[in-house]
């Protein structure tokens, strides 16, 4: 799993930061890219990366403010000309469907692939044998959501010494043993997978939060995730502004990360009023509260381990 930040600014684009969008690349796991938010010019940002639009299988919208959705019609249209023929699932508030369909209709845009709309509410919104996605409502003056992506645990590694004691030599039989609960050897011996594998490998977990005021219950919901991606529109000195506009400060995000005992905090949706030197000073200060954390930048990539 790799995260590519396509837009890390808030409200409107600046010279250094485009508006909100990030890509979760799962090319090895499922040969797909999932997009979270799609602000204006997201497709231009994608062109500066190795991401192939035809690989985008799901798009998750946190809320319907323009800096999170205005790039969506253009991206969907361009995908038709970039060998994109497989369906795209669109997850978001119920009004997402009307916005997309109206935009495509009034511009005479015809897609050569189907769109599948998935209106969201709190709870599990997608699940298969390998991964689960949940949504939680936030506080932002309009419906805004956080998404949590959770991989299923993986079967632990085979323990060769235990297999050796059972007379199992290395070979294709190893894969057979790992892929099924019980394997019967040619001599009639039953090998139970749980007896010859190590502890399960925990699946990775990522939480991606839309715009929001601090939400008390969010700490429990994101408890212990590997990566928390949270808005930091304002610095702590502008806490009143954050409250007035239903946003969070970087300090709010940091306190949440500490309370939830997450492994890593990445902060985005940063106001253009803050220059890089101020962000560096604020980041250094906040590390006294929680670490590791980082203000992200456009095109930054982060591998989830």
Active site residue 83: no
* Chain centroid offset of residue 273 CA: 26
CB atoms within 10 A of CB 18: 24
Report helix, strand or coil for 100. helix
Residues at the annotated binding site?
Answer: 63, 65, 67-68, 140, 211, 269
User: What distance in Å separates the CA atoms of residue 17 and residue 271, rounded to the nearest whole number?
Assistant: 9
Q: Where are the beta strands (DSSP E) in the chain?
A: 2-7, 21-26, 32-36, 56-60, 88-92, 115-119, 123-127, 131-137, 145-151, 182-184, 190-192, 205-209, 227-231, 265-268, 293-295, 301-303
Which residue bears the tokens 């039989």?
A: 173
Residues at the annotated binding site for Zn(2+)?
Answer: 63, 65, 67-68, 140, 211, 269
DSSP state, 183?
E
Active-site choice (31, 37, 67, 288)? 67
Catalytic positions? 67
């Amino acid at each position: 799993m790799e995260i590519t930040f396509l837009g890390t600014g808030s409200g409107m684009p600046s010279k250094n930061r485009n508006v909100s969008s990030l890509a979760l690349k799962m090319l090895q796991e499922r040969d797909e890219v999932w997009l979270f938010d799609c602000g204006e010019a997201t497709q231009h940002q994608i062109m500066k990366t190795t991401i192939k639009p035809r690989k985008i299988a799901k798009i998750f919208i946190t809320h319907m403010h323009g800096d999170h959705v205005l790039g969506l019609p253009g991206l969907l249209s361009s995908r038709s000309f970039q060998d994109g023929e497989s369906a795209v699932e669109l997850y978001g508030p119920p009004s997402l469907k009307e916005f997309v369909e109206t935009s495509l209709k009034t511009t005479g845009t015809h897609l050569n692939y189907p769109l599948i709309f998935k209106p969201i509410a709190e709870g599990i919104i997608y699940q298969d044998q390998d991964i689960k996605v949940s949504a939680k409502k936030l506080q932002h003056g309009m419906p805004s959501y956080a998404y949590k992506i959770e991989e299923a645990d993986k079967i632990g590694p085979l323990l060769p010494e235990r297999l050796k004691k059972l007379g199992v030599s290395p070979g294709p039989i190893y894969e057979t043993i790992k892929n099924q609960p019980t394997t019967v050897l040619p001599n009639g011996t039953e090998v139970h997978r749980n007896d010859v594998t190590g502890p399960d490998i925990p699946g990775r977990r990522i939480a991606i939060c839309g715009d929001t005021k601090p939400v008390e219950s969010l700490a429990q919901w994101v408890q212990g995730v590997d990566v928390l991606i949270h808005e930091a529109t304002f610095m702590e000195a502008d806490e009143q502004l954050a409250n007035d506009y239903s946003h969070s400060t970087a300090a709010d995000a940091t306190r949440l990360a500490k309370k939830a005992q997450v492994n890593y905090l990445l902060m985005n949706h940063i106001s253009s009023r803050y220059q890089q030197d101020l962000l560096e000073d604020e980041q250094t200060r906040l590390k006294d509260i929680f670490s590791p954390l980082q203000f992200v930048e456009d095109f930054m990539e982060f591998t989830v381990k």
